[in-house]
Structure 1
């Protein structure tokens, strides 16, 4: 997302923050309604073209949103979407992507307001690890021919009663309507949104054995100094790394594992 769309999304997030700062606004309900708006805009190509048409006035587009959604969703959702369509967009798909991102961000805000954001982050991470460890499960959740209802049912079976409702909604939305994203990309985007909410970065740490609390503290402190922000450690234990630590933050990888050094030596010998 570039240019005008990036600025429009930033403005939309500020509006969402302002709306949810009001204790009378139900952030979880707002998130669910934004998810429904995402589905509508994704399906109705002509509508999103109209709502992102630069030749139409922002007020005209906002009034159209009010007439279409006024009786379907709450006032805060109408206000937020109306604000979005008043902005300029580089393309119609950017509007849909932004509404979808704000829906996920709303779930994160709801979890934080309930004091459950740590749980939500951990549940999403653990779910990703479970899926990564099972080719059959990943295939069932990502098979294009499988219906959205079947995938949603599988998520409910896996997470129902074991995870927060917000976690279930986020994962269900991701597998039922991936919209071009892989499961891994979607889960990573949720992790980034949660980290942004708390002004920190997320590090995926892979080690051969579990780290002690002291080791975790030292590692997070070192990474915080390096990146200038607080760092959340998501730790994955993988005996195949042999020893050392592999850290991934976004697209950057710091690999100090024995297996990596052995692979480097093997390639050097073969070369």
Structure 2
């Protein structure tokens, strides 16, 4: 008899909303400290300066504004775990939109402040059950906000890597949601039970086809920290490089995840 399917992970809506607001606030505080020469620095996102990246971080929240401006879909036709694999198709349009935003908003602090104010208003106005048309399909606002937490954490890391000495804190709940969603996305992309992926303290998933362990230490184990996992899952860090630098440990013949990464995009 095949093993029973694991129930999808759930996220507390109130905590998710608080996490998105907190992480956006952390980014705003960091951006206020940036000088013009720092805003002109390149980032690891090809062709984007820090200014472009900050404009894009604002887009992570205004995506909710734009979705709420559209007619509500008749029914939900997607689930949260459809989102990670459905984000790459709009890359060219996102790039062009980001550049236009960066050019149109020279005062980034005012730009982010306006977004923060309007976003809080939207959260006060719309219930979490409200359906939104997204790149992955129709999702509830509550589910879509989990993806906003992912976007904010991923791009906070991009921003921190681009500006030497910039130390941006991570809201614990936002970091946890990002880690868990990307770990669950791996389990969807590489279904199975032969390999256990551990990202303490936030996530443990089983994946990869092969013999399933039932007790004791599994024969194939991968373990790393949350930010290293997020970089692997989004393609910011290669599997071989992570192993060579000891940022990830992997034991067992089925512990090579290189073929399954990245999972976002």
- Name the structure, 1 or 2, with higher relative contact order (CA <8 Å, separation 6+): 2
Same fold (TM > 0.5): no
Give the TM interval when normalised to the shorter protein. 0.3 to 0.5
- Choose between structure 1 and 2: higher helix proportion: 1
Please report the TM-score for the alignment, with normalisation by the length of structure 1: 0.31
- TM-score with structure 2 length normalisation? 0.32
Larger radius of gyration between Structure 1 and Structure 2: 1
